Amino acid sequence: MSDYDFDLFTIGAGSGGVRASRVASAHGAKVAVAEEYRVGGTCVIRGCVPKKMLVYGAHFAEDLEDAKQFGWDLEGEPSFDWIRLRDTVLGDVDRLNGLYTETLENHDVTIFHERAEITGEHEITLASGKVVTAKYILIATGAQPAVLDFPGSDLAITSNEAFHLDELPKRVMIAGGGYIANEFAGIFNEFGSKVCIVNRGDKLLRSYDEGLSDRLLKISLMKGIQFHFNTTFKSITKNDDGSLHVEMNGSEDMDVDVVMFATGRNPNVSGLGLDTVGVEQGKIGEILVDEYSKTNVDHIYAVGDVTNRVQLTPVAIREGQAFADTVFNDDPKTVSYDHIPSAVFSHPPISAVGMTEGEARNKLGNIKVFQSDFRPMKNVVAGRNERGLYKVIVDAATDKVVGIHMIGPESAEIMQGFAVAVKAGLTKADFDATVAIHPSMAEELVLLK
């Protein structure tokens, strides 16, 4: 009989917490999880999943326009109903929330639908005042949008609120230059909003290959998205008609309907009681862990965005799985952070795996860069003047493909398979030896000369 109420208490039922809890339970542990908002966490409730549904919805704007060239006549001007899409998306989020809850319940995980705080070595206090004890504590509290601080900044929204808007804004200003900023700029722009991105620097998507971010900028400008680089906020005030007046350093004042911050995500650590037990944190509050996701306190672990290693759902899930196998199945596992593929679901999407050209030059010196700059067949027929760009980076000494970078239709779907090849360490010769699928866009990657 354990001296504790639970073998494992997980704080946060998001991507990492749900996986860790259900696997630990399957390994025989008595598990509880606390969730202060909705089971499923950021990705399912207000991140990847509803965002991707909006991306699908948005892309119809182009598909409907292009359909004419493919012989389709649509009667009258197509119109778009934001509330219908919003409610379809939120309905599916409810369904997924139910499925994740069911999964935990089917694995005999006790769910506390309330906030939790660590109040002692092995003690957790819930918002209701209930106190429980656990042998191990897993912190899987994720991250939250970073909010800028200037007069009137409370009038802005973040991605959390963007999914719930009661009407489609006519004019949207998005602060930031990362993937969330570019994805939402694309979404609102396709729906017909006038969109501008305000960025304090002069680069978009800093961790991506410059060739791709430059191409996205060019295409986004062509689509009508405005960019204000090297610009910071002074203030936001409300106009009499409810719209917002934005004063900036580096750009002219603007009136918009919505300002959305997409300026990064900070680890969710406030009020968690980390000081009570002396859990070490890094510069932005992230929880510091070893390769097994263990903090400096022997029985406290942390996975996912709260550790600020790589803020992506599949990574949080792997960390949760590795933690549960290590601690509750006597099967020590670590997560490999090499060659993690990623995507930006912009219009068109970007995807990447491995080193950018710049990183490869710095790290390896002697590299070969193969590139295809092409107009996809569908765009040619549609009369859409939008070019794709694929780059393959090869280590000249070993012939190994060390990076692939793409912008173009379906590039995220194409990348998943090619990421296997890069992760496996295949060479350019292996790519060349692979017969193309013709006609396809993906074939460009095995035909590069």
Ligand X SMILES: Cc1cc2nc3c(=O)[nH]c(=O)nc-3n(C[C@H](O)[C@H](O)[C@H](O)COP(=O)(O)OP(=O)(O)OC[C@H]3O[C@@H](n4cnc5c(N)ncnc54)[C@H](O)[C@@H]3O)c2cc1C
Piece in contact with ligand X (CB under 6 A), picked from 46-54, 207-215, 346-354, 438-446 = 46-54
Query: Of 18, 40, 42, 47, whose CA–CA distance to 138 is shortest?
Result: 18
Which lies closer to ligand X via its Cβ, residue 362 or residue 416? 416
**Is 25 a residue that touches ligand X (CB under 6 A)?**
no
Which lies closer to ligand X via its Cβ, residue 136 or residue 431? 136
State the binding string over 174-213 for ligand X (x if CB under 6 A, else -): ------x---------------------------------
Chosen residue from 311, 351, 372, 379 binding ligand X by CB under 6 A: 311
Task: List, as one string, the DSSP characters of 172-203.
Answer: EEEE--SHHHHHHHHHHHHHT-EEEEE-SSS-
Please tell me the total number of residues recorded for the chain in this structure.
Answer: 449
- Give the three-class secondary structure for 241: coil
Closest CB 64 distance from ligand X, rounded Å: 24
- Give the whole-angstrom CA distance, residue 106 versus residue 100: 10
Piece in contact with ligand X (CB under 6 A), picked from 47-55, 249-257, 372-380, 403-411 = 47-55
Chosen residue from 48, 61, 146, 288 binding ligand X by CB under 6 A: 48
Closest CB 414 distance from ligand X, rounded Å: 16
Closest CB 155 distance from ligand X, rounded Å: 20
Residue given tokens 């002692």 in the structure block: 120
Query: Of 4, 119, 31, whose CA–CA distance to 327 is shortest?
Result: 31
Neighbours of 416 (CB within 10 A): 12
Task: Retrieve residue 176's tokens.
Answer: 């930031």
Closest CB 107 distance from ligand X, rounded Å: 17
**Is 286 a residue that touches ligand X (CB under 6 A)?**
no
Among this protein's residues, is 107 annotated catalytic?
no
Chosen residue from 22, 30, 51, 391 binding ligand X by CB under 6 A: 51
Alpha carbon separation from 237 to 171, 198, 200, 232, 261 (Å, rounded)? 15, 17, 20, 15, 16
Neighbours of 275 (CB within 10 A): 9
- Give the whole-angstrom CA distance, residue 425 versus residue 431: 11
Piece in contact with ligand X (CB under 6 A), picked from 208-216, 308-316, 399-407, 435-443 = 308-316
Task: Give the relative orientation of helices 179-191 and 210-223 as an angle to the nearest 10 degrees.
Answer: 20
Task: Retrieve residue 146's tokens.
Answer: 């970073």
**Is 11 a residue that touches ligand X (CB under 6 A)?**
yes
**Is 266 a residue that touches ligand X (CB under 6 A)?**
no
**Is 34 a residue that touches ligand X (CB under 6 A)?**
yes
Residue given tokens 């991506």 in the structure block: 208
Task: Retrieve residue 252's tokens.
Answer: 């002219």
Provide the CB-side half-sphere exposure for 229 (13 A, CA). Answer: 6
**Is 372 a residue that touches ligand X (CB under 6 A)?**
no
Closest CB 283 distance from ligand X, rounded Å: 18
Chosen residue from 168, 272, 289, 441 binding ligand X by CB under 6 A: 272
Closest CB 40 distance from ligand X, rounded Å: 7
**Is 268 a residue that touches ligand X (CB under 6 A)?**
yes
- Give the three-class secondary structure for 354: strand
| Contacting residues toward ligand X, per CB under 6 A | 11-17, 34-37, 41-43, 47-48, 51, 115-116, 140-142, 159, 180, 268, 272, 304-306, 311-314, 316
Positions annotated as catalytic residues are 438
